[in-house]
């Protein structure tokens, strides 16, 4: 009998009313391993109701209580991270080492959330007027909806729910239906760490579940990571329903390599950032801008390194695994035909890669395409796969112009040994996260993550200080404690004195 992954509501598995399920594949095998329950709007309402019921007790819990939970959760997660990595590899396909890296970055956010006592403090101004004090407090917003993507089924939920919970909110998490098991695993671990029932709930599903969260009157805030079209939809729909929203969208991340750069370092970085996690990263480098004078040499170095990569089942010590689904693999592979039609040069064709894995797996090897026209969809689209496009530029200014003309503004990198060029670059590019000789400039947990332009909707970035700001709302209190000798009546407008 096929196993069905149920929702996690009010501290336990819960089937809900829906009989609709979807298959969950092992991408390296190409076969479904289980089914996942797909929620109705009513099921989502049940999850929200559990979060609403748990809110008063958790909101009023002490900072010490919340800190103890986070400490215990952190220790359990760290002790069992290898078990979680196995789940990620089995359902997403990323290799075990990459899965371990994902968990490590999520752990950083859990550790950052322990700074909650400092970051939830308000401010105090004494005697702003005679015997009048003003102070502020930060309080939770209420029930938070989190909608996370398939490419980081552990890390992205960990970007959000530890901070939301630390701030006193309750959560309904809707993970991707393509790799949903990590979310349940995390929720069960949180319960073991002492989190009260209903504080963290997991509801599975597709657009029906997402829409139910976006319009539910008891959901106060939405956190989302995904493609730009869906991020825009999430932002517009949730905002129209009076919710605060942080919606992180897609990317077309550029890496500009100047003639003075260390080309070996740049080639290593291009391979690592272009093909890690099979390119299914919003921070992957997908557009390499090579200055003409060094382009031939750089392309040759990248191609040589790509030949050393071992592609296959992530549990076999390979460097890169499969793509998430057969449909996505086919969509990415179709861009190679587009590139050829548009006059680009396919230097390394990932369709010809020999893999260490089942023939039915969703394989596409690392692909390198040179001389890509900027008019081509290969350059313009977020392909979200192991395809590195090389665009040749005549120099620094043309590279910056291309970066700034992109509708996306998530991440960007420059490789150079010229400090002046690097400083000018970071000031001129309209991008949210910048790497200088660093190909994937994902900020550490105590800085916030997010881009510019069509890579983000809403005012708040993820985690870091902005995470706590997003998951709290401020009250300002003006108080006067009257001296017993005070008296008299004055009907005039209050005056400062």
φ/ψ (deg, to 5) at 12 = -160, 160
Segment holding 264, helix H or strand E: helix 263-275
409: buried, middle or exposed (CB in 10 Å: 19+, 13-18, 0-12)? buried
* Distance, CA of 267 to CA of 275 (rounded, Å): 12
Sign of CA dihedral 461, 462, 466, 467: positive
318 assigned to active site: no
DSSP secondary structure string for all residues of 95-149: -HHHHHHHHHHHHHHHHHHTTHHHHT---EEEEEETTEEEEEEEEE-SEEEEE--
3-state helix vs strand vs coil in the chain, percent to 5 = 40, 25, 35
CA distance 225 to 357: 30
CB contact at 8 A, 10 and 295: no
The CA-atom distances, in angstroms, between 348 and each of 115, 119, 294, 303, 434 are 47, 49, 19, 7, 28
Q: How far is 305 from 299, CA to CA, in rounded Å?
A: 10
The radius of gyration of the chain from alpha carbons, rounded to an integer in Å, stands at 25
Residue with tokens 């999520």: 106
CA 268 and chain centroid, separation: 24
Pairing mode of beta strands 143-147, 219-225? parallel
Say how many CA atoms lie within 13 Å of 176 toward its Cβ: 21
The active-site residue out of 51, 203, 234, 282 is: 282
Burial tier of 272 (Cβ tally within 10 Å: 0-12, 13-18, 19+)? middle
Report DSSP state, residue 371: S
What backbone torsions phi and psi does residue 418 show, to the nearest 5 degrees? -100, 105
Q: Which residues are catalytic?
A: 282
């Amino acid at each position: 009998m096929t196993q069905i992954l149920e929702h996690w509501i009010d501290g336990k598995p819960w089937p809900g009313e829906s009989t609709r399920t979807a298959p969950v594949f092992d991408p390296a095998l190409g076969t479904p391993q289980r089914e996942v329950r797909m929620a109705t709007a009513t099921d989502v309402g049940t999850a929200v109701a559990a979060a609403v019921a748990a809110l008063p007790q958790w909101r009023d819990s002490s900072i010490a209580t919340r800190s103890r939970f986070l400490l215990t959760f952190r220790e359990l997660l760290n002790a069992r991270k290898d078990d979680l990595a196995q789940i990620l590899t089995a359902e997403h396909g990323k290799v075990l080492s990459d899965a371990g890296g994902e968990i490590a970055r999520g752990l950083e956010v859990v550790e950052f959330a322990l700074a909650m006592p400092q970051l939830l403090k308000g401010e105090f101004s004494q005697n702003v007027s005679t015997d009048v004090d003003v102070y502020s407090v930060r309080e939770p917003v209420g029930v938070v909806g989190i909608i996370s993507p398939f490419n980081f089924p552990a890390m992205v939920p960990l970007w959000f729910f530890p901070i939301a919970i630390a701030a006193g909110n309750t959560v309904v998490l809707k993970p991707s239906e393509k790799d949903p098991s990590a979310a349940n695993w995390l929720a069960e671990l949180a319960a073991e760490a002492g989190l009260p029932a209903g504080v963290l709930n997991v509801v599975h599903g597709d657009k029906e579940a997402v829409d139910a969260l976006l319009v539910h009157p008891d959901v106060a805030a939405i956190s989302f990571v995904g493609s730009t079209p869906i991020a825009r939809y999430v932002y517009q729909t949730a905002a129209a329903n009076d919710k605060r929203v942080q919606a992180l969208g897609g990317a077309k991340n550029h890496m500009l390599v100047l003639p003075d750069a260390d080309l070996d370092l740049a080639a290593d970085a291009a391979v690592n950032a272009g093909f890690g996690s099979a390119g299914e990263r919003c921070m992957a480098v997908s557009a390499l801008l090579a200055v003409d004078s060094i382009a031939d040499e750089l392309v040759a170095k990248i191609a040589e390194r790509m030949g050393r990569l071992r592609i296959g089942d992530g549990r076999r010590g390979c460097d890169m695994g499969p793509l998430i689904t057969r449909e996505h693999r086919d969509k990415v592979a179709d861009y190679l035909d587009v590139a050829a039609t548009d006059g680009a040069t396919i230097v390394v064709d990932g369709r010809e890669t020999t893999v260490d894995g089942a023939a039915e797996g969703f394989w596409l090897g690392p692909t390198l395409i040179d001389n890509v026209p900027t008019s081509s969809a290969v350059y313009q689209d977020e392909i979200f796969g192991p395809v590195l496009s090389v665009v040749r530029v005549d120099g620094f200014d043309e590279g910056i112009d291309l970066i700034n003309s992109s509708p996306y503004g998530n991440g960007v990198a420059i490789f150079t040994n010229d400090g002046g060029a690097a400083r000018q670059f970071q000031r001129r590019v309209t991008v949210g996260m910048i790497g200088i000789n660093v190909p994937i400039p994902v900020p550490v947990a105590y800085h916030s993550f997010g881009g510019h332009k069509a890579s983000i909707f809403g005012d708040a970035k993820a985690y870091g200080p902005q995470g706590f700001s997003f998951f709290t709302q401020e009250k300002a209190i003006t108080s006067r404690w009257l001296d017993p000798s005070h008296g008299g009546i004055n009907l005039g407008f209050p005056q400062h004195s």
